[in-house]
Amino acid sequence: MNIETMETHAFDVLVLGSGGAGLRAAVEAASEGGVSVAIVGKSLLGKAHTVMAEGGAAASIGNVDAPDSWQTHFYDTMKSGHYINNYRTVEVFAKEAPARVLELEQWGAVFDRTPEGRIMQRAFGGHSFRRLAHIGDRTGMELLRTLQYKAISMDIKVFQEVTITRLLMDGSRVAGAMGYYRADGHFILLKAKAIVLATGGWGKVYKVTSNSWESTGDGAAMAYRIGADLKDMEMVQFHPTGMVWPPGVAGLLVTEGVRGEGGLLYNSEKERFMKRYDPERQELSTRDVVARSIFKEVQAGRGTPHGGAWLDISHKKADFIKQKLPGMYEQILTLGDIDITKQPFEVAPTCHYQMGGVQAHAETCATTVPGLFAAGEVACGLHGANRLGGNSLADILVFGRRAGIAARDYATSLKKAPEIDDTQVEAEVARILEPFNRPDGENPYAIHQELQEAMSTHAAIVRSEDDLKVGLNKILSLKERAKRMGIKGGRVYNPGWHAVFDVENMLLLSELIVRGALERKESRGGHWRSDYPDELPEMGKWNFVHQYSEDGDRITRVPVPEMPPELAEICARPVAPGREKVAGSSQVPPRKE
Amino acid sequence: MADEFILSIFRGDADGGQEVEYRVPRVEGMVVLDAVHHVQAHEAQDLAVRWNCKAAHCGSCSAEINGVPKLMCKTRLDEYEGQTVHIQPMKTFPIIKDLVTDVSWNYEVAKKIPAFHPTVAAPFRMQQWDVDRIQEFHHCIECFLCQDVCHVLRDHQEKSQYYGPRFMVKMAEFEMHPMDRADRIPQIKNEGGIGLCNVTKCCTSVCPQHIHITDNAIIPLKERVADRYYDPIRNFFRKLGGKGDESQPE
Ligand SMILES: Cc1cc2nc3c(=O)[nH]c(=O)nc-3n(C[C@H](O)[C@H](O)[C@H](O)COP(=O)(O)OP(=O)(O)OC[C@H]3O[C@@H](n4cnc5c(N)ncnc54)[C@H](O)[C@@H]3O)c2cc1C
Ligand code: SF4
Ligand code: SF4
Ligand code: FES
């Protein structure tokens, strides 16, 4: 490969990932002009994982429950994260989320309305007030489509179906990225002064997952390889309500909106079992609690025929269900043959979200690599040990924007554009083409499947030292086999070839999840250890940071940043700010049944 | 009930190709995309197919299944009990490989659509009934199945003259937004080419999101064009009062 003839571009700001976080970053970086901006996605524009989000975006606008405030959103988010979140990230987030949601309306998003004609907000687990701005059950699509059309109306260069495989360096700072066009396999080199990483999560490491195919963690893996710190990797969210039956759709999400709109959970004995696990919040408890409760019911022999719980919203009027949850109604009818307006249906936990990821500064989203910024699901800091529903869509808006600003500022402050030496590019070209030399090598699909089995068996919702060790060994031996992955066919739209790099990234991140899970000898949020069933105050003082080294992953404990008194005071309150008057009433928030 | 399904999938590229038969074990409730994935994982690693969500949210997996434009992830195989299932790429767009087509023309059209243009600042006060009508258009997942089936684009390849149903829906979304103040009618008539649509409703019949493309987007837009260009009295009032009122639903 002659580097001279490789397709090459140079930009001030390069955004990797065209999900919500990436698009929001690109829009911001380009908003003042004078800065060249490009955005890259490995799918077509408008198809990113964000499109799947259903329930809503959390922001304390207070249109439905007036006493809501940023303080309450802060309180809820810290509590749900079991206090290993970065408090400053949470503070910035809670304060800015309302403005970010309202601004979408300016760009064409049309949220559901309150009777007063304002943006409607719905209840969700762990939120003290009705807080999720939504559009039926397709809020992510609205958000993504709005940002997509905003971005194409601006001066932003869009690369579609380009897979980035490596971040390139100039000394210790980032200098660009390279990859290939999926359509025909030709290489592309993108030089940049600053890069925003917005490549999303890695839910595809588990067998039963709500995530789209893109969620293979490429960005996190690439950042780790160039020395960026990764944090809290053991913190994986299992959403309590994935579809269970038929097997073809297992894992497909049933939005929390079903419970938000009044859906109830029952075990095989027709008991509303959540009363036993969280008498106050019941179905609207946080996801870690509800997922674990369903798991425990099934273990105790009170599961549904296919190993889950019953979710029932049929006590609500059919018209109400079809208006509030049209997508769910149709999804479960066409794929599961069940009319949810008439009968209950089976649900069980499904892998949903990665709280861990690339460590990012609370205000600038800067990673530990100069010039590299991270926002959205790939980043870490906001959610702690358990993410609240609706906080991710708000996250990608707030920190997408902030990463865009910081990248723009960084790029304009650079006196000299970074340079990329040819050896990095040559080495990557060789690596990318290598699998073609082994037409009879290991099948990447088979390795992926075995990895998913291993992760689902040994490092999923319940974990233990012995199990995790077995899992780790399996991952390490898969990693060895993966070195011999090979493919048939040519470079034109060859999914087998594409899968090779996805699988390498997933193997790496799976290893970090398991190593982190071994290290955290306690149960906290999404991380549940059967051999350490309690949450330990001593462990709550630490985040675990992963660093790349020649001889493998290096884990260090770093102290969770300590809150200033005024924020600590908020967290110490016995009831959420604004709820003092209603405290003592049983249901939070008030619901009609 | 047979314990396997028989698929006949187009394999090839711009230079030609043919259908190849594959047998896939039956799994209860499986959709066409599951079967294609099975083939990919076990027999043909390089079988090209686009998909993202497998939940009918992203609009990536469009194809023609036994001749009908559909989403592969929303089409159950048991609908085709006892039949061979023929899977072909969309015909209206140039093929890249196997089931993947080059849909970039749609993104070029998208870029020509002027952004939403409110003249007041959000937050807006709008009632649910104000927005019900446009929210329907927001359901579009950009699967381009309507573009695939529209004869103006498919049989006559008049892509340079008509934006196609998807983008009439997009135009309608902004045009009927209570806060939008851009004048979109000349573009809808001229470059947009709405006159080429002869209301066959094929687009509506394939839309996986059940958007009433023809009745609720195209026909009202055609009416606005007619009012503007062929009804001088309405046109006069429109100039006085800004756009809007002539299009309120009955
Ligand atoms: C079914 C479902 C429902 C959800 N509902 C909600 C909800 O109601 N509320 C809420 O707050 N959150 C919800 N979430 C979570 C939320 O949708 C995601 O966390 C969020 O959208 C992540 O956005 P992102 O921009 O960080 O990444 P993504 O949307 O995942 O985008 C990642 C982008 O990076 C690109 N990319 C990745 N790797 C590469 C590479 N190697 N080269 C080039 N490009 C690459 C991808 O193509 C894509 O464009 C839901 C998630 C799921 C799965
Ligand atoms: S109704 Fe119009 S847009 Fe739709 S398929 Fe027919 S000609 Fe095309
Ligand atoms: S209008 Fe319907 S058929 Fe056309 S692109 Fe949108 S969702 Fe697909
Ligand atoms: S894969 Fe997303 S619509 Fe089919």
| Cα(A38)–Cα(A30) distance, integer angstroms | 9
Tokens linked to A142: 């609205």
| Cα(A111)–Cα(A388) distance, integer angstroms | 20
Residue with tokens 């079992």: A273
Tokens linked to A369: 């690599």
Its CATH class, for the domain covering A430-532, is mainly alpha
The three-state DSSP-derived secondary structure of A427-488 is: HHHHHHHHHHHCCCCECHHHHHHHHHHHHHHHCCCCECHHHHHHHHHHHHHHHHHHCCECCC
From 3.10.105.10, 3.40.50.1970, 3.90.700.10, 3.40.50.300, which CATH number describes the A239-351 domain? 3.90.700.10
| Cα(A453)–Cα(A474) distance, integer angstroms | 10
How many helices (DSSP H) and strands (DSSP E) are in chain B?
10, 7
Tokens linked to B121: 């600042």
pLDDT, residue B248, reads: 38
B29/A135 touch (CB, cutoff 8 Å), yes or no: no
B52/A47 touch (CB, cutoff 8 Å), yes or no: yes
Q: For residue B118, what is the DSSP state?
A: B
Residues of chain A found within 8 Å of residue B58, distances taken between Cβ atoms = 43, 46-47, 51-52, 212
Atom of ligand 4 nearest to the CA of B58: 2
Q: Does residue B197 line the site of ligand 2, with CB under 6 A?
A: yes
Which residue from A45, A102, A142 is facing B122, i.e. has the nearest CB? Answer: A102
Amino acid symbol at A102: L
Cis before residue B25, ω within 30 degrees of 0? no
Which residue from B60, B138, B139 is facing A44, i.e. has the nearest CB? Answer: B60
Residues of A marked as catalytic? 239, 259
Enumerate residues 218 to 247 of chain A having a beta carbon within 8 A of any beta carbon in chain B: 245-247
| Cα(A31)–Cα(A402) distance, integer angstroms | 13
- CATH 3.50.50.60 placement within chain A: 3-235+355-413
H helix or E strand, kind and range, residue A76: helix A70-80
Its CATH class, for the domain covering B4-101, is alpha beta
Phi, psi (5° rounding) for residue B31?
Answer: -105, 170
pLDDT, residue B239, reads: 57
Partner B contacted by A116 (CB < 8 A): yes
Do the beta carbons of residue B129 and residue B184 sit within 8 Å? no
Q: Does the pLDDT of residue A589 top 50, yes or no?
A: no
With 0-12 / 13-18 / 19 or more C-beta atoms within 10 angstroms meaning exposed / middle / buried, residue B236 is: exposed
- The structural domains of chain B, with segments of one domain joined by +, span 4-101, 104-240
Question: Fold for domain B104-240?
Answer: Fumarate Reductase Iron-sulfur Protein; Chain B, domain 2 (1.10.1060)
- pLDDT per residue, tens digit, chain B (250 aa), is 779 999 999 999 999 999 999 999 999 899 999 999 999 999 999 999 999 999 999 999 999 999 999 999 999 999 999 999 999 999 999 999 999 999 999 999 999 999 999 999 999 999 999 999 999 999 999 999 999 999 999 998 999 999 999 999 999 999 999 999 999 999 999 999 999 999 999 999 999 999 999 999 999 999 999 999 987 776 666 655 555 444 433 3
Residue ID of nearest Cα to ligand 1 atom 21: A50
Do the beta carbons of residue B221 and residue B175 sit within 8 Å? yes
Tokens linked to A506: 């997933």
- CATH 3.90.700.10 placement within chain A: 239-351
Its CATH class, for the domain covering A3-235+355-413, is alpha beta
B50/A44 touch (CB, cutoff 8 Å), yes or no: yes
A496/B34 touch (CB, cutoff 8 Å), yes or no: no
Q: What is the pLDDT of residues A221-278, one digit of tens each?
A: 999 999 999 999 999 999 999 999 888 888 999 999 899 999 999 999 999 999 999 9
pLDDT, residue A401, reads: 98
Q: What is the pLDDT of residues A103-115, one digit of tens each?
A: 999 999 999 999 9
Ligand 4 geometric centre to CA of A593 (Å): 35
| Cα(A383)–Cα(A80) distance, integer angstroms | 8
**pTM, to two decimals:** 0.95
CB contacts < 8 A, A to B, total 178
Give me the half-sphere count of Cα atoms (radius 13 Å) on the Cβ side of residue B55.
Answer: 30
Ligand 2 pocket test target in B203, B205, B215, B225 with most atoms within 8 Å of CB:
B203
Instruction: Tell me which residue of A395, A513, A319, A481 sits closest to A92, measured CA to CA.
Output: A395
**ipTM for the complex shown:** 0.93
Give me the half-sphere count of Cα atoms (radius 13 Å) on the Cβ side of residue B115.
Answer: 20
Q: How many CB atoms lie within 10 A of CB A585?
A: 11
A103/B29 touch (CB, cutoff 8 Å), yes or no: no
| Cα(B113)–Cα(B168) distance, integer angstroms | 10
Atom of ligand 3 nearest to the CA of B206: 3
Do the beta carbons of residue A301 and residue A271 sit within 8 Å? no
Q: What is the pLDDT of residues A474-510, one digit of tens each?
A: 999 999 999 999 999 999 999 999 999 999 999 999 9
Instruction: Tell me which residue of A16, A382, A353, A42 sits closest to A199, measured CA to CA.
Output: A16
